[in-house]
Amino acid sequence: MSTRPRPNTFDPRLRLLWLAAVLVACGFTLVARAAWLQLVSTSFYQQQGDARFVREVPIVASRGSILDRNGETLAASSPVASVWANPRELLGHPERLPELGRALSIAPEELARRVSERADREFVYLRRHMNPDEAAAVIGLGIPGVHQQREFRRFYPHGEVMAHVLGFTNIDDQGQEGLELAFDGWLTGKPGLKRIVRDRQGRIIDDVDLVRPAEPGRDLVLAIDRRVQYLAYRELKAAIARHQARSGSVVVLDIPSGEIVAMVNQPSYNPNARGSGDGAARRNRAVTDLIEPGSVIKAMTVAAAMENGADPTRQINTSPGFFPLRNHTIRDVNNYGMVDMTRLLMKSSNIAATKLALEMSNEHFHDVLSRFGYGQNTGSGFPGEATGVLPPPRRWGEVVKATISYGYGLSATPLQIAQSYAVLANEGRMLPPTFVKGGNAAAPRGRQVIDPHIARSVVGMLETVVAPGGTATTAAVAGYRVAGKTGTTRQSVPGGYQQRYVSVFAGIVPVQQPRFAMVVAIHDPSAGRFYGGQVAAPVFHSVMDGALRLMDVPPDNVRQWFATAPKAAPAELGSDGLVPMDAPPVAQARPAGGLP
């Protein structure tokens, strides 16, 4: 065998070159891949990262405040905090549930059940509308999956006093009743949007961008005067208790503007306690409940007769105190004998009203009542407002027309009755009632619905109702001339009427330059008295006695005014000591019609 050695074929330099080539190729591949990821496919991977850590969250917007006519806050939104959780994360740490339940004042079993039922979701509220400090303490426990968010809660400083007008919002700050619902679009703000970065535990670590700023809701200034509102609420509540009545309503209108200065109902409820009270207590009876107006409608009957050409001084025979008509008998409380239109209103004669109505055509009488707003929506814009019932004239027989003339057979809301008396006081011009201050600024004079002379004459006649011998002497206000009309109607039931009553008074003050029209309606007084002059008229007196002074309305019964203010400058008086109705203002007072 040959023993010569084999030649050595290993070349270290060549191997190093190959190794260097492989390393360079790998390095180039890595650089190319990095360049591809960083420069070419940036948007895709950025989206993937953002999908895991970047979120767009809403910025809650506060609801606009509601103010009274003097700028006092009636409803406002206050910041609160709500605690929520990601059920998947929270259920991954079941040992922390008892601790979380104690912090939220929720039983651990209830908390576990609530979270488990939503285990397939990423969001569940644990407790809403907490004090921000209490919510921060819960978050400070560091329980995985538990977070908080900012919200707003509605507060009503005046509680029951304003409840029926304002209504309330739900837990999401959306209007549910009253003006909160009617003006929800105006009061609701526009939520904003911001972009944030969260870590894998859901904690916010950076605010990336403000996508859209939040726009707070607009404030709403009402025509309501909180002082007059409180007066009306206090006096109505006292009257309900005194007469053991079931419910009641008060409406106060500013005659020159048509603005609703006060509107209250009993029973009431606390709008700050959601779900408190039953549905009946939350109903704004002044605009949703219908009543037969009773004798307060006689003012419109007299106005219709005068427009039909009847002489207001003509004597009408009401003897012997009852009047057979078809199969019915119309009765007065007493035999008033011969009465003119003024005495008709003063004594509230059903027989005289019937005889006036029978002299008019159905169409004419219906037209006048319709022009005064009966059977029509007032246009106030309040949710759920009732239009009332005024039967078409083709259905009227003599008995129906007779009963309508003294307030049966038609129905209206207290707001509609107040509007009709405001028409009389405003020289026959109608302004739609409005809850908003300046709501009728576009048409300040309103619509003429009846001759001004007729309206002034009827108001003058209505003064006698409050004078001695009238049915509403308890409505008189010292220093002011008051005109008004009482009404007492039986409550209707299927098949007829029962011995339960609605006591009503509608009044105007002061007569010379009328400022307020007010209606009081009290349902089912059961303490022995039930006439409108006994039950409703005293509420008018108490509310107007305070409201006229709060609103700086000058007295117009000058003799009484001088008796209480002897240092005032003298004024020219009529023979009865009152400023004549056609006299100009004197001594800085607003002259008006006479209170004896």
Q: Which helix (H) or strand (E) holds 430?
A: strand 429-430
Distance CA 508, CA 299 (A): 12
> What SS3 state is found at 1?
coil
C-alpha span between 544 and 550 (Å, rounded): 9
Q: What is the number of residues in the chain?
A: 596
DSSP 526-560: -SS---HHHHTHHHHHHHHHHHHHHTTPPP--HHH
What distance lies between CA 301 and its chain's CA centroid? 32
Secondary structure (3-state) at 307: helix
What is the C-alpha to C-alpha distance for residues 150 and 312, in angstroms, rounded to an integer?
A: 68
Strand ranges (E), 100-170: 124-130, 146-155
- Measured between alpha carbons, how far is 387 from 545 in angstroms, rounded to an integer? 31
Phi, psi torsion values for 282, nearest 5 degrees: -85, -5
Tokens of residue 432, six digits: 């739609």
* Extended beta strands in 185-289, E state: 192-198, 204-212, 220-221, 247-254, 259-266
- For residue 259, with 0-12 CB atoms within 10 Å meaning exposed, 13-18 middle and 19 or more buried, which class applies? buried
Catalytic-labelled residue, pool 82, 249, 257, 295: 295
Structure tokens at 146: 């538990």
Distance (Å, whole) CA 192 – CA 247: 45
Peptide linkage before 267 cis (omega within 30 of 0): yes
CB 298 within 8 A of CB 353: yes
The tokens for 64 are 């606009």
Q: CA–CA separation, 542 vs 232, rounded Å?
A: 8
Active site residue 295: yes
The tokens describing 276, both together, are 């408190």
Q: Hey, which residues are catalytic here?
A: 295
